[in-house]
Chain A
């Protein structure tokens, strides 16, 4: 079963268009949504939640069309963390628990208290007095305390130190141990996504350049180094991206399409994304 089915999702602003986004995300997986600032990651998440009007396309989340009248009930099953947490400045975690108890029918106060303890969050301190890391931990505590089946995390790890990021990524991993729990994590910190994601979606200038299983990406792509002439001799279909500088050239290639005589190097997600970004920029 798919947790999300997204077909031709489109949103046009004056100076930016999120264009024809289509993908299926199986339930029980973690999707990393990666892209440069302004690529359309946050817009995509807002459109998935029908939080902003769209110009085209169709979205089904947890089996419900996101523009059907029932969708606000489906939102009970979706935990959301935005990059700035967005709670009123003066509210304390204790009051926030009560507020969310009124907002979510499935609110689990004991679970919330457990997360506050785990993240060592003071119950009576005002939100505005929290550090960035504490704010994100509080938002995550809320998102995980109403029995959500889907988590949408918009830059939830950005601006945090590596230790806090690691702690938070562990929590997301634990969440997906429940068979049908699904996560979408948008970030431009590719190393975070490489650690925990099953799927990678790469948005670039409003277009979905790539949607693929992470392991398949890492198996399929490799780096080839050589002179510019050597790389020019490669089958163009095999080359996904190329960089040439004064010291030589390197290309991101599809392993299956290049001759065995070429020595390939293992690549990582960051390199794949950078090569693809460069390639799609030049082809746009």
Chain B
């Protein structure tokens, strides 16, 4: 798996330096500038970075070669998940740096927003990655919008239910969501392995 992560890192570093830089800038950028998209860019890093790596692999036909190398299907799938988690962690780190140095630390509101964003991100990844592994990035990308819209609807419904139940917003509200998201993400690895094995080559 080390080889696969190294390959992804090289591709990302050489072809997406601008994206790495942009994520850092927007995640760190203080909201007082009136242009805060920090949590959006956390989601962007966790979603678009791996999706773009899928596309680069497809263009190079890397999967055909990797299937002939001493990697297991699990290695190939898991490495992509791990890389997306690392990309997310990088964006979260940038976000924390921004909060620490340019904002007022970690108020409840910021933590709730970040927690909900990460939950949504994990859920979107859990649904979207198996699709990418099955269909490839070309066809998979078309379904991304549908997945995001579906999850946004679910998120709004969830928020409405919480509102009705009069649950007071606190950072702990996001914990169950994060746990569910993490569980879905792990289950999604297994589903992706199956999908990748059954992919039509």
Interface residues, chain A, with chain B CB atoms under 8 Å away = 46, 49, 51-53, 72-73, 75-76, 78, 80, 82, 84-91, 95, 98-100, 102-105, 152
Contacts and interface: CB of A to CB of B under 8 A. Distances in A.
Contact of B69 (A46, A84, A98, A103): A103
A99 to B, nearest CB: 6
Contacts of A73: 70
Instruction: Give the one of A84, A95, A103, A152 with max B CB within 10 A.
Output: A103
Contacts of B70: 72-73, 75-76, 103-105
Nearest to A139: B65
A275 B81 CA distance: 52
Contacts of B56: 88-89
B75 to A, nearest CB: 8
A98 B5 CA distance: 12
Given A88-B11, A100-B3, A49 B60 contact: no
Name B's interface SS.
helix
Contacts of B64: 46, 51, 82, 86
State the 6 A-B residue pairs at the shortest beta-carbon distance, nearest first. A51-B67, A102-B3, A103-B3, A86-B65, A90-B14, A75-B70
Contacts of B164: none
Interface residues of B, number: 25
A135 B3 CA distance: 20
Interface of B: 2-3, 6-7, 10-11, 14-15, 56-57, 59-62, 64-65, 67-72, 197-198, 201
A90 B3 contact: no
A75 B69 CA distance: 6
Given A95-B10, A99-B6, A87 B60 contact: yes
A84 B61 CA distance: 8
Q: Which of B6, B15, B59, B71 has the most chain A CB atoms closer than 10 A to its own CB?
A: B6
B15 A87 contact: no
A105 B69 CA distance: 12
A90 B62 CA distance: 12
A91 B13 CA distance: 11
B67 to A, nearest CB: 4
B65 A80 contact: yes
Contacts of B71: 72, 103
B10 A88 contact: yes
B6 A98 contact: yes
12 contacts: A46-B68, A51-B201, A80-B68, A82-B61, A82-B68, A87-B62, A88-B56, A89-B15, A91-B7, A91-B10, A103-B70, A104-B70
A80 B59 contact: no
Contacts of A95: 10
Nearest to B12: A90
Given A103-B69, A105-B70, 10 more contacts: A46-B67, A80-B68, A82-B61, A86-B64, A88-B7, A88-B56, A90-B14, A91-B7, A99-B3, A99-B7
Contacts of A78: 68
A91 B8 CA distance: 11
A88 B62 contact: yes
Which of B56, B57, B65, B67 has the most C-beta atoms of chain A within 10 angstroms of its own C-beta?
B65
Contact of A49 (B6, B59, B67, B72): B67
Contact of A86 (B2, B6, B61, B201): B61
A99 B5 CA distance: 9
Nearest to A95: B10
B43 to A, nearest CB: 26
Contact of B65 (A72, A82, A89, A104): A82
Contacts of A46: 64, 67-68, 201
Nearest to B73: A72
Contacts of A51: 64, 67-68, 201
A121 B61 CA distance: 22
